[in-house]
Amino acid sequence: MRVYLSGPMQDCTLREQRSWRVEAAATLEWLGVECFDPTAVAVAGFEAVEADKREIDASDAVLAYPWKYSVGTSMEVLYAWERGKAVVVVWPGPVADAHDWLRYHAHGLVGHGDVAGACRLLAAGVLRLSPGGRENGMSDPKPSKEHRETATKIAWSRDGYLNRKQRSDLADEIAAALARVEAEGRERAAMMAGKCGYYGLAAAIRFRGTA
C-alpha cells in the first residue's frame, strides 16, 4: 500500500507543513506502509498541482489532515475519492464538527488530531470504498449500554487537555466505533484488534464500514 499525505501547505511554515507528516510517515513505516510526502518535492504553482495529482494517481490511499482551512487539501480529497482511492481524514476536533463535504468523501474519519490512529486504520486494510455513510445505504449500528459504558471509561481515562464536553463527544464517537466492530462479527473484530491495537479501534471513530 502507498499513502499520499495531504494537508495545508500554502501560507504555512515548513514546520507546520511537516510536523504531522513526519509523525504519519514514521507510524506508517513502522506498520510497513509506504507513503509520499509532497513537502519533500521542490515544485510550486501549476507544476506542483500536476505533480501532486500524479502522486495521488500512483497511490492507493490519501491521508488528509485539514488542521486549518485549505482549498488544496479539499481538492486532493475529492480528486482521490473520484478515482476510487481510499480516503481517511483526520479532523482536529470532534468528528461531529467536520464539514459535511469532508465527511461524505471520507471512507474513514478520525477526530481530535489522532494522526497515529488514522495510520493504524489505513494499515489495517479494512476500509470498504463506500463513502457517504447513510446516503449510500450504510447505517451505523446503535451502541449498546455496554458500548457506552466502555467508551466512557476510555474517554475519561485518556490523557490530555479535554474538557467535559470534549470527553463526552469522544465517548460517543468511541461507542459508535465499538458498535461497528461488534456488528462485523467476532472474527473481524479480532483481526482488527490484532492489527490496530485496541485504542486504534477506539480512535477509528467514524470509519465508513469494513469489507
Q: Are residues 150 and 95 in the same domain?
A: no
Domain that holds residue 153: 145-203
Q: Are residues 13 and 110 in the same domain?
A: yes
| Number of domains composing the chain | 2
| CB contact at 8 A, 98 and 89 | yes
Q: Are residues 151 and 122 in the same domain?
A: no
Closest residue by Cα to residue 119 from 9, 7, 20: 20
pLDDT computed for residue 123 by the predictor: 82
Across 166-177, b (16+ Cβ under 10 Å) vs e yields: bbebbbbbbbbb
The CATH number covering residue 53 comes to 3.40.50.450
Print pLDDT tens along the chain (211 aa): 899 999 998 888 878 888 899 999 999 988 889 999 998 887 888 998 999 999 999 999 999 999 999 899 999 999 999 998 999 999 998 888 888 899 889 988 888 888 988 888 888 765 545 444 333 333 456 777 877 787 777 777 765 566 777 778 777 777 776 776 665 554 444 444 444 443 444 444 333 333 3
Q: Are residues 30 and 120 in the same domain?
A: yes
135 domain-assigned: no
Last residue of a domain, one of 128, 163, 193: 128
Secondary structure (3-state) at 53:
helix
Q: Are residues 6 and 86 in the same domain?
A: yes
Last residue of a domain, one of 102, 128, 154: 128
Q: Are residues 151 and 108 in the same domain?
A: no
Secondary structure (3-state) at 34:
strand
Last residue of a domain, one of 99, 128, 157: 128
Q: Are residues 77 and 16 in the same domain?
A: yes
208 domain-assigned: no
C-alpha grid cell, residue 50: 500536476
Q: Are residues 171 and 94 in the same domain?
A: no
DSSP assignment of 117-136 equals HHHHHHHHT-B-S--SGGGG
134 domain-assigned: no
As to burial, measured by CB atoms within 10 angstroms (0-12 exposed, 13-18 middle, 19+ buried), residue 15 is exposed
